[in-house]
């Protein structure tokens, strides 16, 4: 079965995109500040005045039929990824890894999750709701499984610096990378991680608290 020519090529593309993202940041915060870099190509409007790209405005519908926009994540950091429910290759592994993060931050109102289906024809709201339930997600308050027209989802993926495209030879007619994208409360992309690799998700679990601390969103001692 052909899937993005090969899973090895897809994984290489994901890792390459992550590496490229770090290379094109232009500059990063000094290590002593313990801040994550901003990813994407910055616009320097004046000496010392740098504008970082943000995730654009979007409107998607989650499994509870609620419209989700960037305003949904006001005062939060969130993780975004792209998947489809019938994916037999990288998606099951990705969801296992995302569940690792979710279980650590379950109930923490400062951290949210946004999973976009790239197969909206099949992944209707009832399908997404059932899929979330199988993962143990009984409410969309923290983890949104979202749908929108495919063209809109592909355009949004590009803004997240994630590979997603049509491929009639692949299951579901489309393919995507396994990237997890970490977004701050100002809608800047602050981290990209290969969600198919446990070691990359270990790094995510180490770095997410740094982003929470940067915005004074540290979880209380009880983790809530």
**Do 72 and 178 meet the contact criterion of CB atoms below 8 Å apart?**
no
pTM score of the predicted model: 0.81
pLDDT at 148: 97
Q: Output 24-27 pairs: Cβ under 8 A, ≥24 positions apart.
A: 26/50
Distance CA 184, CA 122 (A): 31
pLDDT at 33: 54
Report residues of the chain scoring pLDDT below 50: 1-15, 17-32, 219-224
All domains in the chain, ordered by first residue: 7-214 (3.40.30.10)
Q: What is the C-alpha separation between 71 and 49, in angstroms, rounded?
A: 25
* Phi, psi at 127, each rounded to 5°: -65, -45
pLDDT of 51: 82
CA end-to-end distance (rounded Å), the chain:
44
The pLDDT, as a whole number, for residue 108 is 95
């Amino acid at each position: 079965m052909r899937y993005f020519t090969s899973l090895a090529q897809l994984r290489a593309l994901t890792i390459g995109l992550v590496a490229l993202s770090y290379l094109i940041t232009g500059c990063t915060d000094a290590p002593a500040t313990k801040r994550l870099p901003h990813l994407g190509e910055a616009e320097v409007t004046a000496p010392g005045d740098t504008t970082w790209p943000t995730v654009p405005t979007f409107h998607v519908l989650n499994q509870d039929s609620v419209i989700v926009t960037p305003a949904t994540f006001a005062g939060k950091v969130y993780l975004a990824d792209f998947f489809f429910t019938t994916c037999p290759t990288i998606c099951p592994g990705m969801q296992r890894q995302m569940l690792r993060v979710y279980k650590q931050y379950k109930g923490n109102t400062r951290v949210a999750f946004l999973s976009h289906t790239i197969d909206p024809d099949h992944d209707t709201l009832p399908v997404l709701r059932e899929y979330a339930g199988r993962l143990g997600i009984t409410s969309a308050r923290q983890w949104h499984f979202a749908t929108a027209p495919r063209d809109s989802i592909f355009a949004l993926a590009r803004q997240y610096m994630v590979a997603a495209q049509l491929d009639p030879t692949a299951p579901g007619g489309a393919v995507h990378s396994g990237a997890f994208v970490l977004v701050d409360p100002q809608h800047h992309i602050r981290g990209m991680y290969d969600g198919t690799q446990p070691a990359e998700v270990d790094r995510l679990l180490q770095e997410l608290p740094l982003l929470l601390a940067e915005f004074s969103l540290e979880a209380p001692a009880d983790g809530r």
